[in-house]
Amino acid sequence: MSVSFNDIYHSNLKRIYNLALHYVQDITDAEEVTQDVFVKVHKELHTFKGASSVETWVYRIGINMCLDFLRYKNRYKRKAFLIPLFKTNSGGAEIPLELPDFHHPGIEAEHQQQSRVLYAALNRINENQRTAFILCFVEEIPQKEVAAIMGISVKAVESLLQRAKAQLRILLEKEYDFRRVRK
Amino acid sequence: MEKEKWIEGVINSTKGKAMAEVDGNFTARLLARIEEPENAAPVVSMKWLSAAACAACLLLVCNISLLHKWNSIKQKSVNSSIVSSGSNYLPEGLDQDYNFFN
């Protein structure tokens, strides 16, 4: 299977960078993760046997690197040890959302504030649910392709997406109530 | 109703977004990284790796010597208890005039 790195890079760069932006919610960090992804793709290209499409393979590397980056970052985040104390089945809905200091460059100005709330809520849900939501709902990738990327069935993707939306609703309802009280 | 509208607005806030673009010199930086991967500093330097190996060896030696010491102390205490219990059966410890036929 001969695929040139140049072709992979040019056809996937934007997608991987945007994917990283949704996960890490910081422009500099997203660029760093995107660089790591393509360095890995360049290094591992000879191992790619063509069992899946190149896009699926690159996406998989991208998601894993984003999650690794977040795990590494959260390990050193101050006060991170306090979060599990408040976490419950509702995904930590008992504490107000911490809005990230991030403005997605592609989102219109009028939706920036709402998207920050969405990103904060996404940070509170389970990794698999978050991945399903970002890929299906935010990136609008077909469920069949998402299933191939995540290595699960289409039914499982549907279920993850439903649960992600349900969790987000719980968090957002609480956040709405917190905001009402604060006013 | 207002709450529901707000939640829907938040969930759909990324709809219709444009794709973000990387910084202008991103490709040049990436190529520089790919061309010189060997120059990247290793996560743990050789100095610390050798220090960790030495510490592990030292720990192993200490453990083995402690085990040896512990075994010899245990052996000594067993021997001394046998020797001390033997004195109970010495003739001076027994009643010499005991009449077994009484």
**pLDDT means over runs of 10, chain A (183 residues):** 86 95 94 96 91 93 95 72 54 72 82 91 94 94 95 96 95 88 75
Spatial contact of A134 and A22, defined as CB atoms under 8 Å apart: yes
Which value, in Å, is the radius of gyration of the alpha carbons in chain B?
A: 40
For residue A153, give the 3-state DSSP assignment.
Answer: coil
The pTM for the full model equals: 0.71
Q: Closest CB to B20: pick one of A9, A21, A108.
A: A21
End-to-end CA distance of chain B: 109
Spatial contact of A168 and A121, defined as CB atoms under 8 Å apart: yes
Q: What is the pLDDT of residues B54-102, one digit of tens each?
A: 999 999 999 999 999 988 888 888 777 766 666 666 556 666 677 777 6
Tell me which residues of chain A have a C-beta less than 8 Å from any C-beta of chain B: 9, 13-15, 17-18, 21-22, 31, 34-35, 38-39, 42-43, 104-108, 111, 114-115, 117-118, 121, 137-138, 165, 168-169, 172-173, 176
Alpha helices in A45-153 (DSSP H): 54-75, 83-86, 112-122, 127-132, 143-150
Interchain CB distance below 8 Å, B22 and A31: yes
Give the pLDDT score at B38.
62
End-to-end CA distance of chain A: 60
Please give the helix or strand (H or E) that residue B87 lies within, else none: none
Give the pLDDT score at A83.
55
Mutation target to probe the B interface, by most B beta carbons within 10 A, among A4, A18, A103 is A18
Interchain CB distance below 8 Å, B17 and A43: no
Give the pLDDT score at B46.
83
Give the pLDDT score at A1.
56
ipTM > 0.90 for the complex? no
Which of A20, A23, A174 has the alpha carbon at shortest distance from A91? A174
Spatial distance between the Cα atoms of A70 and A74, rounded to a whole number of angstroms: 6
Output phi, psi for A49, to 5 deg. -100, -5
Which of A23, A131, A112 has the alpha carbon at shortest distance from A73? A23
Mutation target to probe the A interface, by most A beta carbons within 10 A, among B22, B29, B33, B36 is B22
Give the pLDDT score at A138.
92
| Cα A11 to Cα A8, A59, A80, B25, B39, distances in angstroms | 5, 12, 37, 18, 28
Spatial distance between the Cα atoms of A63 and A35, rounded to a whole number of angstroms: 13
Give the pLDDT score at A116.
92
CA atoms within 13 A on the CB side of B6: 15
Burial of A67 (0-12, 13-18, 19+ CB in 10 A): middle
For residue A142, give the 3-state DSSP assignment.
Answer: coil
Query: How much is the average pLDDT of B32-48?
Result: 75
Give the pLDDT score at B85.
66
pLDDT at B27 exceeding the cut of 60: yes
pLDDT at B40 exceeding the cut of 60: no
B contact residues 2-41, partner A, Cβ 8 Å cutoff:
3, 6-7, 9-11, 13-14, 16-23, 26-27, 29-30, 33-34, 37
| Cα A131 to Cα A57, A121, B12, B72, distances in angstroms | 15, 13, 16, 61
